[in-house]
Amino acid sequence: MDPVRTRYLEAMGITPWVARTATPDQRRDWQELRQSVAGCVLCPLHEGRTQTVFGVGSESADWMVIGEAPGAEEDRLGEPFVGRAGQLLDEMLKALGQSRETAFIANILKCRPPNNRDPQPEEAACCAPYLERQIEMVAPRIILAVGRIAAQNLLSTDSPIGRMRGRVFHYGARRVPVVVTYHPAYLLRRPSEKGKVWRDLLFAANLVAGSSR
Ligand code: URA
Residue 65 host element (H or E):
strand 63-67
The per-residue pLDDT for 15 is 61
Residue 14 CA to ligand 1 center (angstroms) comes to 30
> Does residue 70 line the site of ligand 1, with CB under 6 A?
yes
The per-residue pLDDT for 174 is 95
Residue 187 CA to ligand 1 center (angstroms) comes to 13
Q: How confident is the model at residue 11 (pLDDT cuts 50, 70, 90)?
A: confident
CA distance linking residue 213 with residue 211, whole number of Å: 7
Encode pLDDT of 187-202 as tens digits.
Answer: 999 999 999 999 999 9
Contact 152, 121 (CB under 8 A): no
Q: What is the percent of the chain with per-residue pLDDT over 90, rounded to a whole number?
A: 86
CA distance linking residue 140 with residue 208, whole number of Å: 10
Q: How confident is the model at residue 206 (pLDDT cuts 50, 70, 90)?
A: very high
pLDDT at 19 over 70: no
The per-residue pLDDT for 22 is 87
Q: How confident is the model at residue 9 (pLDDT cuts 50, 70, 90)?
A: low
Contact 9, 16 (CB under 8 A): yes
Residue 124 CA to ligand 1 center (angstroms) comes to 14
The per-residue pLDDT for 18 is 61
Report the pLDDT averaged over residues 11-20.
64
Query: Amino acid identity of 13?
Result: G
Report the pLDDT averaged over residues 3-21.
68
Atom of ligand 1 nearest to the CA of 108: 3
| Residue 135 C-beta-side C-alpha neighbours within 13 Å | 25
Encode pLDDT of 89-138 as tens digits.
Answer: 999 999 999 999 999 999 999 999 999 899 999 999 999 999 999 999 99
> Does residue 107 line the site of ligand 1, with CB under 6 A?
yes
In DSSP terms, 114 is beta-bridged to: none
Report the pLDDT averaged over residues 48-69.
98
The per-residue pLDDT for 1 is 57
CA angle at 171 for the pair 22 and 57, rounded to the nearest 5°: 35
How does 124-150 read in b/e, with b if 16+ C-beta sit within 10 Å? bebbeebbebbbebbebbbbbbbbbbb
Among the listed residues 134, 90, 81, 128, the one whose alpha carbon sits nearest the alpha carbon of residue 109:
128
> Does residue 63 line the site of ligand 1, with CB under 6 A?
no
Residue 99 CA to ligand 1 center (angstroms) comes to 16
> Counting beta carbons within 10 angstroms of the beta carbon of residue 34, is it exposed (0 to 12), middle (13 to 18) or buried (19 or more)?
middle
Residue 70 CA to ligand 1 center (angstroms) comes to 5
Q: What three-state secondary structure class fits 196?
A: helix
Encode pLDDT of 133-167 as tens digits.
Answer: 999 999 999 999 999 999 999 999 999 999 999 99
What domains sit in the chain, N to C, each tagged with a CATH number? 59-211 (3.40.470.10)
pLDDT at 77 over 90: yes
What is the pTM (predicted TM-score) of this model?
Answer: 0.90
Q: Tell me the pLDDT of the chain averaged across its residues.
A: 94
